[in-house]
Amino acid sequence: MKREWTLGLIGCGAIADFHLMAIRELPGARLAMVSDRKPARAAEIGIREACGWTTDYRELLARPEIDIVCVTTASGSHAQIGMEVLEAGKHLAVEKPMAMTADDADRMNRLAAERGLTIAVISQRRFEPQHRIAHRLVAEGSLGKLLLIEAGCPFYRLQSYYDSAGWRGTVAHDGGAILNQGIHTLDLMLWFGGGVRTVYAKTATRTHRMEAEDIGTALMEFENGAFGTFTASTSLQPGFDPYLRLYGENGTIKLEGTRIVHWTVPGVPEPDLETDEGSGGGVSHPLSISNKYHREQLADLLASLSEGRKPFVTGQDGWQAVRVVQAMYRSAREGGEIRFNDGMK
């Protein structure tokens, strides 16, 4: 069993700091090199983290000692860089979304399988204790048959957020409220609800100067018969905690942020959980989140590689989330329901 894993990181923007803090704190993890297109930023992080740095990520990929690469660049580059990481024989930890299209995500997964490599898609909210507990109870049948899942991220972003970089809010490189902010919450819905049969969605750009949507809502039917409602926005002042509401035939669990706000589970008392005060859930600022769960997810990736198992959040999970988002966008464009058995890939 390998005891130390050597990592590289591509993209030294704001979210990279969550990965860097996690690597710093994890036993058995060593950072060898970082890369960023901006020389000053790459040098700053390299000096701070006492590791090599470069402005050409292919130089990083050529380092034979690097086992795992974290990709924390703009969303639109995840697929291209991720494919190059896999071609170089490295395991991949990629920020959400893993790709802008389901076809690109599928290509990444197929290449990883061919090369015997692992993809972990950063979906750190699955590691929060309230979600782990609720998922176990749903899987055990404690709520009975699942009837309805309501989920959303009613966030708020100033126009300055979208003006801060040319790629923000663009369809090709960022996506809108659903693909960017909402995909964490959607991933939770899919984790609880399973496969999706149909999607009907509406999107709009109401309060920002941007190409993609700043509000979207969708109605889903899961393969198990449950319904789902999903909303994502960056226009809802002042910004509210993401929520997940699980309604079963025998009980209900309602979660907001890291808090349990309603608990009716037959024979199971409400767990006494500490509220994570360090996490604002990203409701009004993208970095008002806790580092704890990035650390837990990267720890799981290292453990999965050492133990020869799949990570807790796989590339297949990432593909499924992008696939459903793509169906939402298609539904909004065409004005009708999308059925996944009608050739939706």
pLDDT at 343 over 50: no
Query: Once rounded to an integer, what is the mean pLDDT over residues 64-79?
Result: 98
Tell me the backbone φ, ψ of residue 79, rounded to 5 degrees.
-65, -50
Same domain (yes/no): 113, 136 = no
Output the domain CATH number for residue 26: 3.40.50.720
Same domain (yes/no): 186, 328 = yes
Output the domain CATH number for residue 156: 3.30.360.10
What is the amino acid identity at position 17?
D
CA distance linking residue 265 with residue 78, whole number of Å: 40
The DSSP letter of residue 275 is -
Same domain (yes/no): 169, 266 = yes
Query: What value does the mean pLDDT of the chain take?
Result: 95
Same domain (yes/no): 167, 111 = no
Per-residue pLDDT reduced to its tens digit, 22-31: 999 999 999 9
Same domain (yes/no): 27, 108 = yes
CA distance linking residue 142 with residue 39, whole number of Å: 54
What percentage of residues in the chain have a pLDDT greater than 90?
Answer: 92
CB of 257 closer than 8 Å to CB of 279: yes
The angle formed by the CA atoms of residues 90, 70 and 275, to the nearest 5 degrees, is 135
| Spatial CA neighbour of 187 closest among 319, 294, 298, 282 | 319
Question: H helices of 166-291, where?
Answer: 183-193
Per-residue pLDDT reduced to its tens digit, 281-315: 567 666 666 789 999 999 999 999 999 999 999 99
The pLDDT, as a whole number, for residue 345 is: 47
Whole-structure pTM value: 0.94
3-state class (DSSP) for residue 215? strand
CA distance linking residue 23 with residue 14, whole number of Å: 15
CB of 182 closer than 8 Å to CB of 230: yes
Question: Residue 248, class by beta-carbon neighbours within 10 Å (0-12 exposed, 13-18 middle, 19+ buried)?
Answer: buried
Per-residue pLDDT reduced to its tens digit, 120-160: 999 999 999 999 999 999 999 999 999 999 999 999 999 99
Longest CA span, the chain: 58
pLDDT at 56 over 70: yes
Same domain (yes/no): 212, 225 = yes
Same domain (yes/no): 151, 91 = no
Same domain (yes/no): 173, 299 = no
Same domain (yes/no): 145, 235 = yes
Per-residue pLDDT reduced to its tens digit, 213-247: 999 999 999 999 999 999 999 999 999 999 999 99
Q: Which residues contact 260 (CB under 8 A, 6 or more apart)?
A: 130, 253, 254, 270, 271, 273
Range of the domain at 93: 5-124+294-313
Query: Once rounded to an integer, what is the mean pLDDT over residues 166-186?
Result: 97
Domain count, the chain: 2
Same domain (yes/no): 31, 131 = no
Query: Once rounded to an integer, what is the mean pLDDT over residues 187-191?
Result: 98
Same domain (yes/no): 139, 272 = yes
pLDDT band at 2 (very low <50, low <70, confident <90, very high): confident
